[in-house]
Structure 1
Amino acid sequence: MADPSTYRPSPGSIPDAPGVYKFRDTTGRVIYVGKAKSLRSRLNSYFADLSGLHPRTRQMVTTAAGVEWTVVGTEVEALQLEYNWIKEFDPRFNVRYRDDKTYPVLAVTLGEEFPRAHVYRGPRKKGVRYFGPYAHAWAIRETLDLLLRVFPMRTCSAGVFRRHGQIGRPCLLGYIDKCSAPCVGKVSAEQHRRIVEDFCDFLAGRTDSMVRRLEKDMAEASEGLEFERAARLRDDLGALRRAMEKQAVVLGDGTDADVVNFAHDDLEAAVQVFHVRGGRVRGQRGWVVDKAEEMDVPALVGQFVAQFYGEQAELADETPGAGSPVPREVLVPELPADAEAVTEWLSGLRGARVRLRVPQRGDKRALAETVRRNAAEAFAQHKLRRAGDLTARSAALAELQDNLGLDTAPLRIECVDISHIAGSDVVASLVVFEDGVARKSEYRRFALREAAEEGDVASIAEVVRRRFSRYLKETVGDTAEGERPGIDPDTGRPRKFAYPPNLLVVDGAGPQATAAADVLAELGITDVAVVGLAKRLEEVWLPADPDPVILPRTSDALYLLQRVRDEAHRFAIRYHREKRSKRIQVSALDSVPGLGQARRTALIKHFGSVKKLRQAGVDEIAGVPGVGRRTAEAVHAALAGGQDNGTGGTADPGSAGPEGEKSS
């Protein structure tokens, strides 16, 4: 535990001006970011008597090894810089109001040529517009089924869409007029997108204009004696009204507002948000977060509003036609201390005036009370779940420490697994658990080369050697003057392999565990424990030990090891399938006479995928270095009659996956 007095700035060196500050730990990693109207006053409060600090604040200042700050001109600038730094550094002691992955939403993939509507749970993605969240997935499907009658857009998966395009016949929804069947060309991409845009407008709250248009079209059809069309429009109008009835009217004046409320104690806070558009509740979100320091309701409001709307605005910027996520009004239980700066910042995000206020009477006050009760209920349920979860995780880590004879509880566990089919496309995964919870941003994956033909034991040794050689290079290797070991000088963030585990788990028995331990011994690393977990009998093997450690089947420690091993297995299999699909994709060129491996690789690298190569002309193919005109004609002829295998393009093996997982 560090003494804050060792890095406390001298009394006169802190400016009495607005700004943003960062606390860093001994490795240089940013662990907390905050803003202040007066940097001098705020930073001095962190170096008061430790016994008087909030528990998490005390933990933060004793973990830190230094503090630095940046002076800004206004509180609005401080608000923006604080948000940017929290997003960039992801400090462990800062609260992040990320979108809840529990509630289902209705997602519309506007980034695709033929957008698709579907039920979705998970982190937000670029080019996708979201509506909700809803309480139940069946509510989304029921509403979507009603609206498809009026807006016959695509709802099928990519595989189904591609298959029906190949056979030239629409699916059942196309035959019953609940899909406009763009897969077989019944409508063009532009016509289908107009349907999708009308669908999004309706869900976004612009319902009155849609209803009036249908009523006008129905009257015109009736006057023109087009009774079948008038009847169909009448049914469409009824479907829209039934969909609208499912969203309760809570504010009769057509209010466009978000209603926010909190329930909290000394250590945690629950927040609930009701999104009201056109007077109707269009969605609801909820979070429960740890409090980084002692915070009252005004401070919670300021922190939440800055983070939530900043992140939502960035997602809206990346999604064409999404509109502003900031409503005309944000109704909160209490105003933050910097309410004027927050209001100005929100107005900048919306591009129009935004009101941040406390409802005093009437329907809005009653709705705010409903949101408060929801927050209190969610907080109570969280307390019950968290008590059991924390107890189980703490028990598992303590039990592992006792059974494996470790000096401390293994707060950071890494696990290695190998995946291949008969020795081909050999890959490995490395997953990370901290405090018994998966840390997916730290996952790594390896394409094995040297030991791929020598079996799993050699493969395990190669992965361990590569992982810990990088660790040594990044932490104790040559560092330029002024640089901190383990910290990337360009980004200020920790390097990929800068932190060692307390416990390394390998998928296998004694030989695999011994191989990993031997590599660590060769590298001179003595503070990382190694175990192997055998699948067949779930035995725990220690290096060079002839007998396994048998943990009870009901043991929390064994359950934790199984979760870690199964997650490594899942991640390895996914990477192996990606590698195998790329190899199969390239094999489509194997039948081309005179085309060797080097030129096949050059073609795929130039065009990105077989699909794009198939769309290229002879002249484009011949333009690739090393490919002549005759070879280009042969490639074009071989691929002209083939079908795309659906794998799309080749992925950058070093890019992050959909869960933030990375490769090495």
Structure 2
Amino acid sequence: MADPSSYRPRPGEIPDSPGVYRFRDEHRRVIYVGKAKSLRQRLSSYFQDLSGLHPRTATMVTTAASVEWTVVSTEVEALQLEYSWIKEYDPRFNVKYRDDKSYPSLAVTMNEEFPRVQVLRGAKRRGVRYFGPYAHAWAIRETVDLLLRVFPVRTCSAGVFKRAQAIGRPCLLGYIDKCAAPCTGRISPEDHRALAEEFCDFMAGRTGTYLRRLEQEMGEAAEALEYERAGRLRDDIEALRRAMEKSAVVLADATDADLIALAEDELEAAVQIFHVRGGRVRGQRGWVTDRVADVTAGELVESALQQLYGEESGESVPREVLVPALPQPPEPVADWLTERRGSRVSLRVPQRGDKRDLMTTVARNAQQALTLHKTKRASDLTTRSRALEEIAEHLGLDSAPLRVECFDISHLQGDDVVASMVVFEDGLARKSEYRRFQIKSFAGQDDVRAMHEVVSRRFRRYLRERERTGEWAVEEGGEEAADVRVGPTEEDGRPRRFAYPPQLVVVDGGQPQVAAARRAMDELGVDDVAVCGLAKRLEEVWLPGEDDPVILPRTSEGLYLLQRVRDEAHRFAIRYQRGKRSQSIRKGPLDAIPGLGETRKKALLKHFGSVKRLRAATVEEISEVPGIGRRTAETVAAALAGQAQAAPAVNTATGEIVED
């Protein structure tokens, strides 16, 4: 635990201007990013008496070992740089909202020659128009089904589209007029793109103009005695109105706004967002976050706005953003939103009328989401803190282990021996830090030896990372670095590697595995990391050099956290081992031949029926297979002949290998 006074900047060193600052720990990892109108005033507030700081803020400044800052011209630039650094460094002490579910969106792939309408989840892609997100995927599909009658845009996958192009015949949707069938040339690429743009305009809320145009065309068709066309237009209008009725009108027509509401307690905060387009609720989403510091409602709103609009395209920012509390000061955030949209954005708190009533509804949804999250979450911040404190108390540690790493060994009767390393920080899984190991120095069912090797490799890498200058690392003895993802030296806190030591190492096993892990660290001179083992049978916690295990109460939050860590390491190891096993099962004699792809392998096996017959064939016979040339045939024949010579001869009567 560092003393904040040891790295406090001298008086006068900090400029009195806008900027962004970063706190780093002793390993140069960025743990907190913040912005300030005055860097001098904001940073000075962190170096007061610890008793006057919020507990999480006090933990942050004592975990940090240095602070640095970057001066910018305006508060808007500070806001943009702060968001960029939070996304880049993922600092553990910053407010990070987590989606309470994966919300589907309606997407139109305008980046393709023939745009496609589909339902998508996850990260947004460049060149794709998104609408939503929506609460349910079926609601999107019902709306799309109604709109395809009027806007018959392609909805098929790339495979179906290419197959229809090849055979010159559209799919079922093309026959029932719910697709314009661009695959068969029924509509030109330009006309199909115009159709997709009309679809996007309608989904964006510009419905009134389009409906009036259809009604006018219907009247003109009726006057010209084109009753069939007038009937089709009438049905199209009815379909569009049914699609519009699926979202109730909540605000005046043509109102585009996002309403953001908060529900918070001392430990967590929930955010709910209603997307209103054309006066109708087009989508809803929610986030939850730990309150990692004594942040105000305005600061929570600012973080939510950064996450909501930071990666969105400018057209997704509405004309109005209604919030429960304004960031302080509100002008930089409003200017940033205006910059994103390209036109003026109003950021305000609704005071009366329909918008105030709708904000109350959004706030009620946020409160319900927070209540539901509390009941679902097995370990909130208080529980996690208590679990870490119990572990420290029972294991005799000086402080709570904020970073815990767990190792597990997996194999199938001694074959394909692998190991896993999982990482938990502040009681939560840090999956980006997980690592997998191949045990290459031996084979067999020796978990103790494997544990010694894995822990040695992990901490040998850690010691090397502290001194390395940026080159790629390879294990001693020429071992392939399959267990690392290394790159340039991380002087700026970016790398996800073995550079950060844990406070506690947990191994899946009892006394022998714990002794092996401790011995591996002692051989490397690592004496500041605690070790324990969790045995599956009785859930006993073993410590190095102790004859008796530590027994944690069955209701202990500390034991529950250790079980979660152990089970996650076991799951990760089993998954890796099964993947290795399936790869070895799939490999055959033809897989080792260079230049022989799946198509040619299938052609050879289809022609000869088996590898045995293929091995007995001549080069001329192999060349007769469609797609196999003379040179490839020679390569196949030579490779199979070499494999046959390398394989030992076996006495079929006794099963023994025959020596030469």
Residue 118 in structure 1 maps to residue 119 in structure 2: yes
Q: Give the letter for the 1:355 counterpart.
A: S
- 1:85 CA drift (Å): 2.0
Deviates most, 1-10 or 85-94: 1-10
Change (3 A) 1:393 1:360: closer
Change (3 A) 1:404 1:325: same
Residue 445 in structure 1 maps to residue 436 in structure 2: yes
Counterpart-to-counterpart distance in 1, 2:564 and 2:417: 23
Q: Deviation per CA, 1:109-138: give whole Å up to 9, x if none.
A: 737888562364x55566765433334455
Indicate if the aligned counterparts of 1:115 and 1:193 stay in contact, CA closer than 8 A.
Answer: no
Counterpart-to-counterpart distance in 2, 1:333 and 1:575: 47
- 1:470 CA drift (Å): 1.0
Indicate if the aligned counterparts of 2:256 and 2:279 stay in contact, CA closer than 8 A.
Answer: yes
Change (3 A) 1:270 1:246: same
> Could you tell me the TM-score, scaled by structure 1's length?
0.72
- 1:50 CA drift (Å): 3.2
Query: What is the correspondence of 1:92-103 to structure 2 with a 5 Å cutoff?
Result: 92-97=92-97, 100-103=99-102
Indicate if the aligned counterparts of 1:105 and 1:130 stay in contact, CA closer than 8 A.
Answer: no
Counterpart-to-counterpart distance in 2, 1:328 and 1:419: 56
Q: Which structure is larger by alpha-carbon Rg, 1 or 2?
A: 2
- 1:25 CA drift (Å): 2.4
Identity %: 60
Counterpart-to-counterpart distance in 2, 1:543 and 1:157: 58
Match of 2:526 in 1: 525
Query: What is the correspondence of 1:337-486 to structure 2 with a 5 Å cutoff?
Result: 337-379=328-370, 389-390=380-381, 392-394=383-385, 396-397=387-388, 400=391, 409-418=400-409, 427-451=418-442, 458-475=449-466, 477=467
Deviates most, 29-38 or 516-525: 516-525
Change (3 A) 1:535 1:162: farther
Q: Give the letter for the 2:272 counterpart.
A: Q
Match of 1:18 in 2: 18
Counterpart-to-counterpart distance in 2, 1:94 and 1:307: 12
Residue 38 in structure 1 maps to residue 38 in structure 2: yes
Change (3 A) 1:167 1:254: closer
Q: Deviation per CA, 1:324-364: give whole Å up to 9, x if none.
A: 22111222344433333322222221122222233344322
Counterpart-to-counterpart distance in 2, 1:189 and 1:530: 68
- 1:87 CA drift (Å): 2.0
Counterpart-to-counterpart distance in 2, 1:578 and 1:164: 32
Number of aligned pairs?
591
Match of 1:82 in 2: 82
Match of 1:654 in 2: none
Residue 336 in structure 1 maps to residue 327 in structure 2: yes
The DSSP-based 3-state class of the residue aligned with 1:252 is: coil
Q: Give the letter for the 2:54 counterpart.
A: H
The DSSP-based 3-state class of the residue aligned with 2:459 is: helix
Query: What is the correspondence of 1:291-330 to structure 2 with a 5 Å cutoff?
Result: 291=291, 293-310=293-310, 312-313=311-312, 316=313, 324-330=315-321
Q: Deviation per CA, 1:93-123: give whole Å up to 9, x if none.
A: 221345x141522353737888562364x55
Counterpart-to-counterpart distance in 2, 1:474 and 1:358: 50
Q: Deviation per CA, 1:501-546: give whole Å up to 9, x if none.
A: 3443444566555544443333233444445556677676667889
Match of 2:134 in 1: 134
Indicate if the aligned counterparts of 2:174 and 2:181 stay in contact, CA closer than 8 A.
Answer: no
> Could you tell me the TM-score, scaled by structure 2's length?
0.72
Match of 1:71 in 2: 71
The DSSP-based 3-state class of the residue aligned with 2:288 is: strand
Counterpart-to-counterpart distance in 1, 2:450 and 2:152: 52
- 1:255 CA drift (Å): 1.2
Counterpart-to-counterpart distance in 1, 2:131 and 2:409: 40
Change (3 A) 1:507 1:249: same
Change (3 A) 1:399 1:260: closer
Change (3 A) 1:140 1:509: farther
Structure 1: stretches of 5+ with no match in the other structure: 317-322, 481-485, 605-609, 615-629, 640-664
Deviates most, 337-346 or 276-285: 337-346
Change (3 A) 1:308 1:449: same
Match of 2:608 in 1: none
Indicate if the aligned counterparts of 1:262 and 1:269 stay in contact, CA closer than 8 A.
Answer: yes
Deviates most, 210-219 or 458-467: 210-219
Match of 2:605 in 1: none
Match of 1:28 in 2: 28
Counterpart-to-counterpart distance in 2, 1:513 and 1:221: 85
Match of 1:637 in 2: 627
Residue 255 in structure 1 maps to residue 255 in structure 2: yes
Counterpart-to-counterpart distance in 2, 1:520 and 1:156: 57
- 1:254 CA drift (Å): 0.9
Structure 2: stretches of 5+ with no match in the other structure: 471-486, 603-619, 630-660
Indicate if the aligned counterparts of 2:96 and 2:290 stay in contact, CA closer than 8 A.
Answer: no
The DSSP-based 3-state class of the residue aligned with 2:262 is: strand
Counterpart-to-counterpart distance in 1, 2:207 and 2:510: 63
Q: Deviation per CA, 1:363-416: give whole Å up to 9, x if none.
A: 223333433444444455556666964465455445555666666554432233
Indicate if the aligned counterparts of 2:258 and 2:318 stay in contact, CA closer than 8 A.
Answer: yes
- 1:201 CA drift (Å): 4.2
Deviates most, 535-544 or 352-361: 535-544
Change (3 A) 1:529 1:37: closer
Q: Give the letter for the 1:102 counterpart.
A: K
Indicate if the aligned counterparts of 1:487 and 1:493 stay in contact, CA closer than 8 A.
Answer: no
